Amino acid sequence: RSIAMITGNLRRERRIELWNRASVIVATPQTIENDLITESISLRDVGCIVFDEAHRAVGEYSYVYIARRYREENPNALVLGITASPGSSKEKIEEICRNLGVEGIEVRSEYDEDVLPYVYPVEFEWIHVEVPVEIRGLKEELEGIIGERIKRLMEMGVKIKGDSKKEILEIQERVRELIRESPSRELYEIASIQAEILKLKHAVELLETQGIEALKKYLERLKREASSKGGSKASKRLFSDERILKIVERLETLEIQHPKLKRLLEVLQESLESGSRRIIVFANFRDSVEMITSFLKEKGIKAEKFIGQSSRNGERGLTQKEQSEIIRRFREGEINVLVATSVAEEGIDIPATDLVVFYEPVPSEIRSIQRRGRTGRDTFGRVVMLITKDTRDEIYYWISRRKEKIMKRIMRRRMMKEGGEGRRVEESQRSLEDFRKNSQIKIIVDHRELRSGVVKELKEMGAEIEVETLEVGDYQISPRVCIERKTAEDFISSMIDPERNLFRQIEELSKNYEKPVLIVEGENLFRVRNVHPHSIMGALASISIDFRVPVLFTKDSRETAEMIYIIAKRELDSGIRNLRLHAKKTSKSDDEILEYIVSSFPGVGLSTARALLEHFGSIRNIVNSDEKELQ
């Protein structure tokens, strides 16, 4: 019997070879999902699928698609889902069961007889620290500014019962809805003030739970945003407030460490002296991870930061290679302490640790359980939680505890039901026969779209999917039709982010395809960000008129897939069959080349270039014309 590991790092041919040869396969879900979409593999002969960390089987996560395909392809499908943290609501647990096709639930704790021989006791310790006087003073100043902003909202007619973050977010959502229906200057001012309040609340949370250094870095980022051309109005308004500027000045002179750092150092030194070899310190924010790591290194502790791969706020993440190297050093004892964000909670092969430290509590029962699970695997474990008194730390701790109790209660009740409730694919779900399968329909999909739900929907409709790296667009339908898909959030982001220039993308689409199409997915286009509707309408008008790119709107990924499928079918029915599978840019016509050259002149856009060429007939005539003729 052979065991094989399949990941996206392997070539497709090698993955198929291993799939056909091995008896037991250990694989990353995204890789299996992608290979199913491209018909590289089949689940017909798979005897059982085990889904580790089964609580992930929600939304668009790969588990959901794999389980559905398994049930469709294999009448004897056998599924086992394993998780230590299914969630704290009945609805969430039911959703996981439904998505995986789970019919029965077995609950085990560390005290059950069949589990007891394989687990080790874990000691828990809670260390409470006081907020320093200086930090308390800054906190009161920031809360005073928040109070003034809330008072201003109430004067403008906004009904606010309290000042919780949850309530502010709910009000913000209602205001965005009103802006979409009937925009006004007053509503935009309310939205901006709400954004200020949320930024200030985050500043208070950082100050009281992380300390001066974390607040300083956060305010520095806000200041850079306020001074930038595309900075938000909320940031600009905050830094026009003299009190905020004075707080920034005071932070430069304060050198007070949060008491958590001192207690953390004491805990680590004591643990290392007692023989601990591997310790993980979890922190919620990257800035905190950086600060803690630097502090520990200065004190002679062999510590290293461990963060995700994405870049944020101008700071790059770790590459997969760098992450692997850090884990190797941690495993071999070159590093004793790993200071990590949530990326180390699950899904990464980190060796068992002697001690796990929560630099602050988390309000999620799932994350709390996953973090604790990093210790007590091979020997006795220990968990230490640092809590700042009378702050959000205490609130988050009790929220997590309450959710965990609810989760256990729900699972016990669910297990007591004889035979379960028989999870089957609901009749209301669309079957594959809802769309006529047509093996002639081929769509080239950019590999970055594989994570969207659109590709899976297209596959279920019967389209043949070819995955490539497209230079332009996301879905190539035919030699003349290419579709760019943007979610509402992505559309707004690319509008205001110069590095993701929306119009440059649309221009490339327009230049390289005879029939380009833009699909905007989502019903909240005018509510995603505090961007004036006129700006959004202006962008849509420019795309449609200046670039001659039709804009289609869809509700969700399923509707987007239906639209793409219909467009592909029309192309096929019209006789356009020669779909090039190399997914390269199409060659430009003579007219397109002329437009490209003229549009590169200073101050000349694509629409002006077309008008000039239509009037003068050639580049030579444009260049030789005088100022009067150009007017």
**In which band, very low, low, confident or very high, does the pLDDT at 427 lie, cut at 50, 70 and 90?**
very low
Q: Is the pLDDT of residue 552 over 60?
A: yes
> Can you give the pLDDT at residue 1?
64
Q: What is the 3-state secondary structure (H, E, C) of 30-50?
A: HHHHHHHHCCCCCCCCCCCEE
Asked, for residue 558, whether it belongs to a domain, the answer is yes
60-110: pLDDT as tens digits = 899 999 999 999 999 899 999 998 888 778 888 889 999 999 988 888 877
> Can you give the pLDDT at residue 50?
97
**What value does the mean pLDDT take over residues 613-629?**
70
Q: Residue 221 CA to chain centroid, in angstroms?
A: 21
Domain boundary among 209, 226, 253: 253
441-457: pLDDT as tens digits = 889 999 889 878 899 88
Q: Could you count the other beta carbons within 10 Å of the beta carbon of residue 242?
A: 8
> Can you give the pLDDT at residue 624?
61
Q: Global pTM?
A: 0.61
Whole-number Å distance between alpha carbons of 115 and 137: 50
Residues 539 and 478 in one domain: yes
Residues 205 and 321 in one domain: no
Residues 262 and 235 in one domain: no
Residues 292 and 337 in one domain: yes
Identify which of 439, 441, 443 has the alpha carbon closest to the alpha carbon of residue 583: 443
The answer to whether the CB of 340 falls within 8 A of the CB of 317 is no
Span of 222-231, 329-338, 394-403 with lowest mean pLDDT: 222-231
Q: Residue 481 CA to chain centroid, in angstroms?
A: 30
Residues 185 and 273 in one domain: no
Greater confidence (182 vs 258) lies with: 258
Residue 319, class by beta-carbon neighbours within 10 Å (0-12 exposed, 13-18 middle, 19+ buried)?
exposed
> Can you give the pLDDT at residue 431?
40
Asked, for residue 294, whether it belongs to a domain, the answer is yes
> Can you give the pLDDT at residue 48?
96
215-247: pLDDT as tens digits = 988 998 898 888 877 678 888 889 999 999 999
Query: What angle is formed at CA 448 by the lines to CA 42 and CA 24, rounded to 5 degrees?
Result: 30
Whole-number Å distance between alpha carbons of 450 and 107: 34
Identify which of 200, 338, 202, 333 has the alpha carbon closest to the alpha carbon of residue 280: 338
Asked, for residue 328, whether it belongs to a domain, the answer is yes
**What value does the mean pLDDT take over residues 343-361?**
84
Query: What angle is formed at CA 56 by the lines to CA 50 and CA 61, rounded to 5 degrees?
Result: 95
449-490: pLDDT as tens digits = 987 889 988 988 888 888 888 888 999 998 889 999 999 988
Q: What is the 3-state secondary structure (H, E, C) of 349-416?
A: CCCCECEEEECCCCCCHHHHHHHHCCECCCCCEEEEEEEECCCHHHHHHHHHHHHHHHHHHHHHHHHH
Q: Could you count the other beta carbons within 10 Å of the beta carbon of residue 518?
A: 24
The helix (H) or strand (E) run that includes residue 122 is: strand 122-129
Bridge partner residues of 55 (DSSP): none
Residues 478 and 609 in one domain: no
290-314: pLDDT as tens digits = 899 999 999 999 999 999 887 776 6
Asked, for residue 42, whether it belongs to a domain, the answer is yes
> Can you give the pLDDT at residue 627?
66
Span of 45-59, 139-153, 498-512 with lowest mean pLDDT: 498-512
Greater confidence (579 vs 158) lies with: 158
**In which band, very low, low, confident or very high, does the pLDDT at 432 lie, cut at 50, 70 and 90?**
very low
Asked, for residue 195, whether it belongs to a domain, the answer is yes
Residues 262 and 234 in one domain: no
Identify which of 356, 374, 370, 375 has the alpha carbon closest to the alpha carbon of residue 400: 370
Q: Which CATH number characterizes residue 7's domain?
A: 3.40.50.300
> Could you tell me the residue range of the domain that residue 29 belongs to?
3-108
Q: What share of the chain is helix, strand, coil (3-state, %, to 5)?
A: 50, 15, 35
Total domain count, the chain: 5
Identify which of 163, 143, 144 has the alpha carbon closest to the alpha carbon of residue 153: 163
Bridge partner residues of 516 (DSSP): 482
Asked, for residue 419, whether it belongs to a domain, the answer is no
Residues 185 and 331 in one domain: no
The token pair at 269 is 């030194």
Q: Is the pLDDT of residue 583 over 70?
A: no
Name the percent of the chain lying above pLDDT 70: 86
Identify which of 395, 410, 412, 414 has the alpha carbon closest to the alpha carbon of residue 88: 410
**In which band, very low, low, confident or very high, does the pLDDT at 20 lie, cut at 50, 70 and 90?**
very high
530-548: pLDDT as tens digits = 677 778 888 899 899 988 9
Asked, for residue 245, whether it belongs to a domain, the answer is yes
Residues 238 and 272 in one domain: no
Q: Could you count the other beta carbons within 10 Å of the beta carbon of residue 156?
A: 12
Average model confidence (pLDDT) for the chain?
83
> Can you give the pLDDT at residue 550?
94
Q: Which CATH number characterizes residue 552's domain?
A: 3.40.50.10130
The answer to whether the CB of 517 falls within 8 A of the CB of 552 is yes
Identify which of 301, 306, 276 has the alpha carbon closest to the alpha carbon of residue 290: 306
Residues 84 and 139 in one domain: no
499-527: pLDDT as tens digits = 667 888 898 898 888 899 999 998 878 77
Q: Which CATH number characterizes residue 243's domain?
A: 1.20.1320.20
Q: Which residue has the tokens 């029965």?
A: 104
Span of 167-181, 513-527, 596-610 with lowest mean pLDDT: 596-610
Whole-number Å distance between alpha carbons of 91 and 83: 16
Q: Is the pLDDT of residue 188 over 80?
A: yes
Q: Which residues contact 4 (CB under 8 A, 6 or more apart)?
A: 18, 19, 21, 22, 24, 25, 26
> Can you give the pLDDT at residue 16?
94
Asked, for residue 384, whether it belongs to a domain, the answer is yes
> Can you give the pLDDT at residue 349?
75
Residues 124 and 141 in one domain: no
251-289: pLDDT as tens digits = 888 878 889 999 999 999 999 998 888 999 999 888 889
Residues 320 and 443 in one domain: no
